[in-house]
Structure 1
Amino acid sequence: MDTFFIKAIQLLLSLSILIVLHELGHFIPAKLFKTRVEKFYLFFDVKFSLFKKKIGDTVYGIGWLPLGGYVKISGMIDESMDKEQMSKPPEPWEFRSKPTWQRLIIMLGGVTVNIVLGFLIYMMVLFVWGEDYLDPKVFDDGLESAELMKDYGFLDGDKILNVDGKPLQSQIDINRHLLLRDVNDIEVQHANGAIESLSMPEDIGQQLFQSGNFQPFSPVRKPVIDSVIPDSPAERAGLTQGILITAVNGEKVTYWHEFRKKVKATDGQAFDLSFISATGENQALNKELNAEGIGTVNITTNEEGDIGVYTSAFSQENILTKTYSFGESIPAGFDFAYWTLNDYVSQFKYVFTKKGATQVGGFGAIGSLFPDTWDWQSFWTTTAFISIILAFMNILPIPALDGGHVVFLLYEMVSGRKPNEKVMEYAQIAGFFILIALVLFANGNDVYRWITGD
């Protein structure tokens, strides 16, 4: 099956599950408080429905527009804008007749379900499949630092000892801490063994985001050839998998990125590439090794300034799995959900920057979170992540969202009087148009990225 359809089916199934459960979060407390629910819909039924059936006072249905779902609760100013109903005296079964605390519980039900669901799914994933992590041996040679981080004292080959006095679970976690969390001091051990504490500026996350350095650190990669492109300068010169590159034009090379930089600097001119063969011999190049066992070949880059070789930071063998018992998966799942929400809220601040606005995505961006092939572990992990996102987005104080209704209810609880219904109607209309604008903008970004290939 085509990759697009695999992703689309996963997205549709995931959203369907999340929408139905979110709306149940409103539906169940409404029923418990004897509030009439007129409609319960998966997707929007603009003009017509794909399916509908009335059971009791409620019409259950599936709409044709997959932009969400809704429950229509009697006596509530919502997206239906049913002014006729609101103009009549309130009935005992209507939302507006219920105590404020009951109405608040009904409105918070959807968000609560999304948060709890995210925790339960993460717990299930950890219990069934465990948690994948990189073998610490991958970081034996330290980390490769982006140029921006070198301005603050980092060097290639550094190892992170602790961040603000606390050790990291994995060295690569430093990227998430810098981008999404407040970091003041990082203690590192340089390749020469020296230990140094490096202070970070308050806006280090903003600097990395604006520069596009979302992964400022990566495992140091030795200049070992993992694969060679067919009919490339490297293949024609006889370079093969496993060769360790030692120098470019006599200048020592220690790391892969150093090799790449020196090759680019040749600017299309022929250069000498020194290496140690994977087998300790040099038969592939039909040349003699020197006393140190090093061979040399003269080579020229292609039009892209490359010779056609790749390396690999780690292989599947470097990915280990931590298993959890059922009891262990409960606190671990809660912890996973908490930090997922915390990090998402932290990165939300970047949306209000020029670069951040261009990164906002719609259904295309959400769909891209799913793998190219059907994999239940990835499906459920992604669904849990989307559930956490929906919880946060729905609680934002925007009229037409759950958070907007909660703001009005909190005002009523504090002031002791209900907000003016006209004000709520106008706020609902304004919120609706804000949401439509955001949906169009986000999906417009998806289309632009698809057209431009960014």
Structure 2
Amino acid sequence: MDVLVMAGQLILGLSILVILHELGHFLAARAFGIKVEKFYLFFDAWNISLFKYNYKGVEYGIGWLPLGGYVKIAGMIDESMDTDQMAGEPQPWEFRSKPAWQRLIVMLGGVTVNIILGVLIFWVLTLKYGESYIPNNELKHGIVPGVIGRQIGLKAGDQITAINGKPLVRYEDIISSQVLMGNCVLTVQRGSQTLNVTVPSSIVNDISDQGVDQFVSRLPRIRFAVDSLQPGSGAQKAGLLKGDSIVSVNGKPVMYFDEMQKALAENKGKQVQLGVKRNQKPMQLTAQLNAQGQLGFYQKGDLPKEKTVQYGFFQSLPVGAAKAWDTFSTNATGIGKMITGKINPSKAISSPLRIATFFGAHVDWLRFWSLVGLLSMALALMNMLPIPALDGGHALFLIIEMIKGKPLSDKFLERAQIVGFVMLITLMVFAFGNDILRIVHHK
């Protein structure tokens, strides 16, 4: 059932993005009097479609191959490779008969709609939910670094006060793209000592393997007490009660929740002696840990209070636009680092298999629309890449035509389309294979 929920959300999200992207091409083409022959969600490979109907000379349908979608524009060399149509005399309603600047606008129509959609989604989400964050100056006990964070020199209890010299206001910005993309310096307060810790550019590779929490935990360091117990758990069988404080594990003092987690992880599947304080009275309990090194209780701690900032209708627009731009620029930076070899492609490229897991096993509309907004900006960026068969490739050839003053040959465009299509299929096979291997490895 969880898989179906994730798959359903992915299909819905991608369908929205693909339909609106292709609508951008469709509307731009119609605006210049160019005939559109097909409008498809997914590909009707070998002319096999799940559904289709004709309306005013356009065939609308749903294909069986869920790898995007397309509009077939008359007189254009595209993924359909309809060379028979191109062999005839150019007609006034065809793409090839229009001025280069009009054809360029048609090719950029999909990217434009994706950018507008991304900004719109982040604008509406900001208007509805505002921005909630933990004020960094409210942290009482500092951070909890994971394996990756400790490797670069962070320690539990550190206070991160600045990123690249700019004061850190929001705790969540510790795991922002500015930091996770590397090449930044964290200013760290450790007791009375002020240190600089450099985040290397290669850190995104490790985070891809081990997760963001292995850099710095989303949960700050807290003191804690038992809140509720899982039925049948080691905590319940040991006699722990709501309000108890665990102060030692096998005689080793623990003051913070992360210290207790570490002590328990060292004794997975074993019995441990817990030093417990109940109503200020010390006592000893024996507890059995499960295979994951867990007792089976939920904690309550001295978490700092979240702050929520609400924005008006017009105030939320620049905030939402900034979020959309940050998503776009982060993806662009990632592609640049991948090209220059600083990021391993196997760590950065994901197929729909992995993207589906980001939606989660239950429907959370805030998360759903946030991901759709993020994917919309990523789709815009991908389509702007100067790869034949993508919008960016078509746009590049049109710009060359405008500079030369004459179009490139149909034979060249056909061959470029084939090369681009092979590149995209290779990339898709790599992405799916990479994610399948990741799933098998984790199992």
> Quick check: TM above 0.5?
yes
Normalising by the residue count of structure 2, what TM-score does the alignment of the two structures yield? 0.86
Deviation at 1:56, TM superposition (A): 3.6
Residue 295 of structure 1 pairs with residue 293 of structure 2: no
The equivalent of 2:65 in structure 1 is 65
Shift of 1:246: 2.1
What are structure 2's unaligned runs of at least 5 residues? none
Question: By how many angstroms is 1:316 displaced?
Answer: 11
% identical equivalent positions: 39
* 3-state SS in 2 of match to 1:200: strand
Structure 2 distance, partners of 1:182, 1:273, is 43
Give the aligned residue type for 1:374.
V
Structure 1 position 33 matched with structure 2 position 32? yes
Q: Any residues of structure 2 matched to 1:36-51 within 5 Å, and which? A: 36-46=35-45, 47-51=47-51
Match for residue 431 of structure 2 among 431, 439, 442 = 442
Going from structure 1 to structure 2, the CA distance change for 1:205 and 1:178 (only over 3 Å counts) comes to farther
**1:237 counterpart = 2:238:** yes
Question: Is the CA contact 1:223–1:259 (under 8 Å) kept in the aligned structure 2?
Answer: no
Q: What residue in structure 2 maps to residue 13 of structure 1? A: 12
Cross-structure match for 1:346 = 333
1:41-440 pair list within 5 angstroms: 41-46=40-45, 47-134=47-134, 139-176=139-176, 177-180=178-181, 182-183=183-184, 185-190=185-190, 192=191, 194-200=192-198, 202-203=200-201, 205-206=203-204, 208-209=206-207, 212=210, 214-215=212-213, 216-218=215-217, 219-222=220-223, 224-265=225-266, 272-277=273-278, 279-280=279-280, 293-297=281-285, 299=286, 301-302=288-289, 304=291, 306=293, 308-310=295-297, 312=299, 321-348=308-335, 349=337, 356-357=345-346, 360-440=349-429
Aligned counterparts of 2:37 and 2:293: Cα–Cα separation in 1: 65
Post-superposition Cα deviations, 1:94-143, rounded to whole Å, max 9, x if no partner, equal 22222222211111110111011100111112212333434668732211
What is the distance in 2 between the residues matched to 1:43 and 1:362?
16
1:288 is matched with none
Code of the aligned partner of 2:16: I
TM-superposed CA distance for 1:301, in Å, is 4.9
CA distance in 2 between counterparts of 1:240 and 1:135 reads 32
C-alpha separation between the residues in 2 aligned to 1:168 and 1:354? 26
Q: Distance in 1 between matches of 2:85 and 2:365?
A: 45
Partner amino acid, structure 1, of 2:284: T
Offset at residue 249 of structure 1 (A) = 4.1
CA drift at 1:173: 1.4
Describe the shift of the 1:438–1:243 C-alpha distance in structure 2 as closer, same or farther (beyond 3 A): same
**Counterpart residue type for residue 104 of structure 1:** L
RMSD: 3.2
Structure 1 108/170 Cα, relative in aligned 2: closer, same or farther at 3 Å? same
Structure 1 residue 31: Cα displacement = 1.7
CA distance in 2, matches of 1:264, 1:29: 59
Distance in 1 between residues matched to 2:209 and 2:8, nearest whole Å: 35
Secondary structure of 2:17's aligned partner: helix
TM-score normalised by structure 1 residue count: 0.84
Deviations along 1:332-388, one digit per CA (max 9) or x if unpaired, are: 110111112222333344596786516643223232232433343333222212211
Q: Call closer, same or farther: CA 1:155–1:5 in 2, change over 3 Å.
A: closer
CA–CA distance in 2 between the matches of 1:421 and 1:213?
48
Equivalents in 2 of 1:309, 1:223: separation in Å?
Answer: 14
Once structures 1 and 2 are overlaid, which stretch shifts more, 418-427 or 225-234? 225-234
Equivalent residue number for residue 287 of structure 1: none
Structure 2 CA distance for aligned equivalents of residues 315 and 378 of structure 1: 26
Cα deviation code 1:61-104 (max 9, x no counterpart): 33333322111112211001111122223223222222222211
335-344 or 140-149, which deviates more: 140-149
Partner SS for 1:377? helix
Output one character per residue of 1:213-268: Cα deviation in whole Å (capped at 9) or x when no partner.
52311211335344545445443332234322223344332333323333454687
Q: Distance in 2 between matches of 1:103 and 1:438?
A: 27
Instruction: Tell me if structure 1 keeps the 8 A contact 2:114–2:377.
Output: yes
Specify the code of the residue in structure 1 equivalent to 2:382.
M
Residues 23 and 70 in structure 1, CA contact (< 8 A), matched pair in contact too: yes
**Change in CA separation of 1:174 and 1:233 when aligned onto 2, cut-off 3 Å:** same
Rounded Cα–Cα distance in structure 2 between residues aligned with 1:372 and 1:265:
30
Conservation of the 8 A alpha-carbon contact between 2:327 and 2:378? no
> Would the aligned equivalents of 1:187 and 1:196 in 2 still touch at CA under 8 Å?
yes
Deviation at 1:303, TM superposition (A): 6.6
Are the equivalent residues in 2 in contact too, given 1:181–1:346 (CA < 8 A)?
no
- For 2:76 and 2:93, the matched residues in 1 are separated by 11
Q: Is the 8 A contact 1:225 1:309 kept in 2?
A: no
Secondary structure in 2 matching 1:369: helix
Distance 2:14 2:81 in 1: 25
Residue identity opposite 1:221 in structure 2: I
Distance 1:319 1:356, change over 3 A: farther
Contact 2:401 2:408 in 1 (8 A): yes
Radius of gyration: which is bigger? 1
Distance change in 2, residues 1:95/1:316 (3 Å): farther
Aligned-partner residue type, residue 427 of structure 2: L
